[in-house]
Structure formats: structure tokens, C-alpha cells
Structure 1
Amino acid sequence: MIIKAPAKINPALDIVGKRPDGYHSLEMIMQTIALYDEIEITKAEKIEVYTDSPFVPNDERNIAYRAAQAFFTATAIKGGAKIVIHKNIPVGAGLAGGSADAAAVLNGLNGLYGAELSKERLEKIGVTLGADVPFFFTGGTCVAKGLGEVLTPIVPALKGFAVIVKPSFFVSTKWGYQNFIQSEVKIRPDIDRAVSAIRNGDLNELGANMINVLESVTAKKYPRIEEIKKDLLKNGAKGAVMSGSGSAVFGLFEDEKSAHLCADKIKRNNEAVFVVPLI
């Protein structure tokens, strides 16, 4: 069985408080994009994980491994899986590649072993692995609240293309949230206004609300974040913002031609640039 696991971007991200358990309460928009990891899953006697990325571990430190463990625990099925991950989603980029892989493994094992777990049950298992995991059982365009697991699909979904720039540095999600200070946030997204813009198909209006409060942490340490945003906007993006805790930055475009023209102009030798449709 081969499954495609799509990445996500955040056109808007706000941190609205801190929970009693120490985690942050979020309000954000999440969007799947056509940038995929490919995952091969076959039945086996035990859980084995293999990746083609030197930055991703091949043991229980890998979230895909833990997803398989969680599946067999939840279903009480005695079995295992050989999981081979072909990484295309950059690591340490704020694109949720690990969470996407975890959701894909849960979905794959559910089908492979005929467990017939409901979407709701998969989401409950997923959130124990990571706050972004439940989103990938819905995909498309969603407002996410709480840890990120309280999801409301936006209809009609956002349409267009993204130019994604992955700088040469990596950012730890944990580091980003641990160093976030509410009082240092100078501007916040208006999530309701952004949702309205998406429903109206107005990328210009959405662009004005493409704000991520975690830039107050990441962009302060890495000035390249702001430089990329300016380059994207100068070359036709309707809006530009960092995704998640970074380091990837993306701009939104109405058509593929404009997106490719921008990508060609802003490429640097040590940075990865992707042009992908929103899905």
C-alpha cells in the first residue's frame, strides 16, 4: 500500500492564550498543499520504519513509528508494519511533514488491517501524537482552534497556488512555542476576516490578513524570514507569511504562471523553492 501524505501551510496563525497544561491555545487557518511524502506500508511481524532523509530517525523517535504503536494499542490487533517513508516535505519547516506521515500511517493501517476505525476515532488517536495530526483526516481549508484539533472546514475552500521557500536553517516547533511572548506581538490576524475572504475567493483581502504571531520569535532570530516575505510580495504574491513555527515562508498566487515567474526570480542556491497547488 502506498499513501501520499500532503503538507500543510498556515495562511494565518494566532496564539490566544495558554492552557492549564502548559500548551498554547491557538486560532489558525490550515491548508493542505500538493507537496507530498510517499509512504509504503506492508504487514510485518513488528514495527519497522525506514526513511530516505538523514534528518529523520528510523526508530520510536519517528512519529510514524509511534502512530503504528498507537494503532495496534487502540485496536488490540497483534501485528506489525514495515513503513518506508520517501521524504519530499522539508524537515523543520513548519509544514507538518511528521504529522502528515502519522495520519497517513493511521489511515493506512486502518485499511490494511480492516480495523474500520471511524474518522473521529482516528482523530482522537492522532491528537495524542501531535496537535496537527487530526487536521490531516479532514484536509482542505480549515479553521483550527484549541491545540489545533478543533476543526471547522471552510466552504468553499481556498483556491490558488503557493510558492514555498525553505531557507537553509531548521526551526524546532518546541523552541518556537517555548520562546513565544504575548507582549512582544505587535500585530495579529483577524481570523474571521480571513475566513470571509476565503469564502469570497478574495486573495487580496486574505493577503492583508496573512499574519503569524510566531514570526515574533522566529523572524527575530532569523532575519531571512522577513527578506523572503518581501521578495515574494515584490514578485506578485497576494500575501506572504511564515508557516507554523517556520522556517518555511510562502506566498499565495491566483494562477500557476504567476507563481512560477515569482519562484524563478527569488531562487537561491542554498534554498529549496516549491510551486504547488492548494488542495
Structure 2
Amino acid sequence: MKRTINAPAKINLSLDVLGKRDDGYHEVSMVMTQVDLADRIELTLLEDNVIKIDMSEGFLPSDHRNLAHQAASLLQKRFQVDAGVHIFIHKQIPVAAGMAGGSSDAAATLNGLNELWGLHLSTRELAELGSEIGSDVSFCVYGGTALATGRGEIIQPIASPPPCWVILAKPPIGVATGEVYKRLKPNDSRTGKSDQIAEAIERQDYHAICENLYNALEEVTLQMHPEVSRIKERMLASGADASLMSGSGPTVFGLVKKEARVHRVYNALRGFCEQVFAVRLITEKKP
């Protein structure tokens, strides 16, 4: 038996940091949405009680450090599953890019193994399990567009934004999320536009979404990696309607409504970064 599941990347339309929690995490409020750049996860049932991982990119860990491996192991142990799985990950999402590639792989593994192993868990139950693996996994289990609060694991699905193009550009650097948060002051509160973004999406007001993009981590990452700022500037100068860093970075995205501008923005970034993608928002999934 085999299952194949897409694991889409996410971008942050907003990321507010509300302060540090007693458990060491930061309290956040984020509006996240998925784009149609995706890894593909192939799950093959094994009779032996083992978890094996292979992938198209050899530089990622294939052991317990891999989030998809953690997802399979968690389900196997929690529900005493007497079976194994071979996981093959076709990587398309850049690594350490602020687009939840590893978290999306884990979420796809949870969703796929729920079927393959006949566990009959609800989306909510899978999302709660996902929160034990990483803060973005819960959102990726739900997919679509959502307001995420707490440390990112409390998910409120909302309507999809109006359709548009998204240009993604990742410079040849990796950013560790923990390092970015560490550079925030302990009680630093950087509130922004999550409520305004959610309201703009509800009204399907593309202009208001562009006006209210906000990422509290952007300033920190820009200080560490000035090239991220240059990508933003180039994206806007070449015709993007709005631009923002996603998550802890370093990927920058630009929103483009008019298809005629897409190639101009894409080509302007291709001379600047090796990893550039022109994709669409995933808008068919409703709450």
C-alpha cells in the first residue's frame, strides 16, 4: 500500500511577537497561507516495524532529526502501530528558508499515515500531535489560510486571500529560527497587523492586504543578513505590489496581482538569487 501527499510551502502575511512566555517560547499572532510550491511525500507501508527515509536531496538528515521521521515515530509509539513505513521526500521547498518545508513534510506524513495505518484521527487530533514536533506543523496539518496564536500551534482557519501571484526569492544562506528569536529582547512586544490582515482577507481586499504585511522578525534578520533587504528593494522596484520576508527568513516574497508583471519581477530576481519561484496562492481550501 502506498500514499502520495503534497506538502506545500507557507508564507507569513503577518507575524506579530507579543512577548516571551514562561516556557521559553514567544507568544505570537500570525496569518499564514500556503502556496503551490510543494514537496511530494511518498509513503509505502512496511510490514517490519521500522521507519526508513530517502529523499531527492542528500544533504538533509534521514534519521530522528528529520521532522517527517519524528512524525512517523510519534504516531507509531503513541498508537502502538505494529507496522513501518518507507518515506520518500521529493524536495522542492528550499531548506532553512522560513517557508516551513520540514514542518509541511511532517504534516503530510501525519495526514498520510493516518490513512495508511488506519488510525482514523481527526484533523484537530493530528494538529495537536503536530504541535509536539514543531510550532508550524499544526498549521500545515490544517493547510489553507489561518490565524495562528500561542506559540503558533493554536489554529483558527480563515478564508483564503484573493488570488494572486507570489514571487519567492531565497538567498544562498540559511537562517536558524531559534537564533533570530534569541536576538529579540526578553519582553520585546512587536505587535503589527495580524488582525488587519485577517479582516482584509475577510473583505477580499487585496490592496489592504498589501498595505498591512508585517513581520516582527524581519528587522532582526535584516541586521544579520543585509542581502535580504536588497532582495526586498529589488522586488518592489521591479513591480511587486508588496514584499515581505517570510517567517524567520531568509526567503522574501512579493505579491503580484497583474500577470503581465510576473515575468519582470521574476527575471529581476533571477539575476540576484539562484532560488527564485513564481507560484500561486492555494485558494481552493475553505475553512
TM-score range, shorter chain: over 0.9
- Match status 1:175 vs 2:175: no
Residue 98 (structure 1) shift: 0.3
Q: Which residue pairs with 1:231 in the alignment? A: 234
Residue 107 (structure 1) shift: 0.8
Following the alignment from structure 1 to structure 2, what is the Cα–Cα distance between the partners of residues 241 and 156?
18
Matching residue within 60, 63, 66 for 2:64:
60
Deviates more, 1:222-231 or 1:21-30: 222-231
Superimposed CA distance per residue, residues 174-228 of structure 1 (whole angstroms, 9 cap, x where no aligned partner): 211122237888x752222222222222222222211111112110011111111
- Match status 1:23 vs 2:25: yes
DSSP 3-state at the match of 2:268 = helix
Matching residue within 44, 48, 53 for 2:52:
48
Maintained 8 Å contact 2:107/2:137: yes
Superimposed CA distance per residue, residues 117-164 of structure 1 (whole angstroms, 9 cap, x where no aligned partner): 111110111000001001122222211111111112222534211100
- The CA RMSD measured in Å over matched residues stands at 1.7
**Amino acid aligned to 2:35:** I
When normalised by structure 1's length, the TM-score is: 0.94
Maintained 8 Å contact 1:18/1:25: yes
DSSP 3-state at the match of 1:208 = helix
Residue 229 (structure 1) shift: 1.0
**Amino acid aligned to 2:76:** F
Following the alignment from structure 1 to structure 2, what is the Cα–Cα distance between the partners of residues 204 and 34?
22
Q: Which residue pairs with 1:215 in the alignment? A: 218
Q: Which residue pairs with 1:267 in the alignment? A: 270
Following the alignment from structure 1 to structure 2, what is the Cα–Cα distance between the partners of residues 84 and 172?
25
Q: Which residue pairs with 1:4 in the alignment? A: 6
Q: Which residue pairs with 1:240 in the alignment? A: 243
Counterparts of 1:243-254 in structure 2, within 5 Å, are 243-254=246-257
**Amino acid aligned to 1:217:** V
Where structure 1 has 5 or more consecutive residues not aligned to the other structure, the ranges are none
Distance 1:54 1:254, change over 3 A: same
- Match status 1:86 vs 2:90: yes
Deviates more, 1:99-108 or 1:269-278: 269-278
Residue 54 (structure 1) shift: 3.3
Maintained 8 Å contact 1:188/1:211: no
Following the alignment from structure 1 to structure 2, what is the Cα–Cα distance between the partners of residues 177 and 98?
19
**Amino acid aligned to 2:103:** S
Following the alignment from structure 1 to structure 2, what is the Cα–Cα distance between the partners of residues 259 and 205?
20
Following the alignment from structure 2 to structure 1, what is the Cα–Cα distance between the partners of residues 88 and 251?
25
Identity %: 40
Residue 232 (structure 1) shift: 1.3
Deviates more, 1:163-172 or 1:132-141: 132-141
Matching residue within 146, 150, 164 for 2:150:
146
DSSP 3-state at the match of 2:195 = helix
Give 4+ residue runs of structure 1 displaced > 3 Å after superposition: 182-185
Maintained 8 Å contact 1:55/1:91: no
